[in-house]
Amino acid sequence: MNLQGRTAIVTGASSGIGAATVRKLREAGVRVVGGARRVERIEADLALPLDVTDEESSAAFVGRAVAELGGLDILYNNAGLALGRYPFWESNEEDEATVLHTNVDGVLRMTRLCLPHVRDGGHILFTGSVAGRQAYENAASYVAAKFGLRGFVYGLREDLLGRDIRVTTVDAGLTETEFSLVRFKGDAERAKAVYENVDPLTPDDVADCVLFALTRPPHVNVDEVVVKALAQSSGGRIVRRPS
């Protein structure tokens, strides 16, 4: 399917997978509004501030984006994060709230706000995670959030059955982005170690999966794509080269 002339909203467009997807969508002729808190980092047709954890910010973003685009064909719910790598007894209220509000509530909110504007032939996509399919240690709140996201998408697919809107989740494995820098709260050494002695996925690899789902013929719904680095079988089981 040709994407030329279509319109899209991408959340989490300031970095990593979101930024790579914005680039690829624009190369395919899609007009893209990108949203994130660090709006100055977004390279899209229009960059707007967005905090998916905040109803007012999200509503204002969607209102401006849809007015600019004149209708919506593609929503890519990609904004998300993890905080910390600790056993759950070391967890705290603040990290749990941020992780759940961003990855779950934020995704429900953005989908609810955008859905009335999605045209027939539209497509709603999500960045899930291998963490939402198989637990790994010291990541319980993130695992809970991504399992929650997957449940929501299954429910949404049921509700949209019979309508001309496709739904896809890309469940990504180890991908080298700022994800680990955020998770380790700015500890660059720790973040770098996550990607050492292994060939992780690149943001472009994940963006390619998004583009694959979008460009199938209209009657084909790619429900889920699970993509991992070759050297991993789950979020917690990664084989590294000897250093």
Which positions touch ligand NAP (CB under 6 A)? 11-18, 36-38, 50-53, 78-81, 102, 106, 127, 129, 172, 174-175, 177-179, 182
Nearest Cα neighbor of 99 from 87, 83, 79, 86 is: 83
- The least distance separating ligand NAP from the CB of residue 96, rounded to whole angstroms, comes to 15
Packed helices 140-160 and 93-100: angle between N→C axes, nearest 10 degrees: 30
**Measured from the CB of residue 29, what is the shortest distance to ligand NAP in angstroms?**
23
3-state secondary structure of 135: coil
- The catalytically annotated residue of 24, 76, 86, 146 is 146
Closest approach of ligand NAP to the CB of residue 161, in Å? 25
How many Å from the N-terminal Cα to the C-terminal Cα in the chain? 44
Catalytic choice (24, 76, 142, 228): 142
Q: Helices 106-114 & 55-69, crossing angle to 10 degrees?
A: 40
* Residue 45: half-sphere exposure toward Cβ, Cα within 13 Å: 20
- Specify the residue, 60 or 119, whose C-beta has the smaller distance to ligand NAP: 60
- Minimum distance from CB of 126 to ligand NAP (Å)? 8
Largest CA distance in the chain: 53
Catalytic (active site) residue 142? yes
Tell me whether residue 23 or residue 119 sits nearer to ligand NAP (CB atom): 23
Catalytic residues: 142, 146
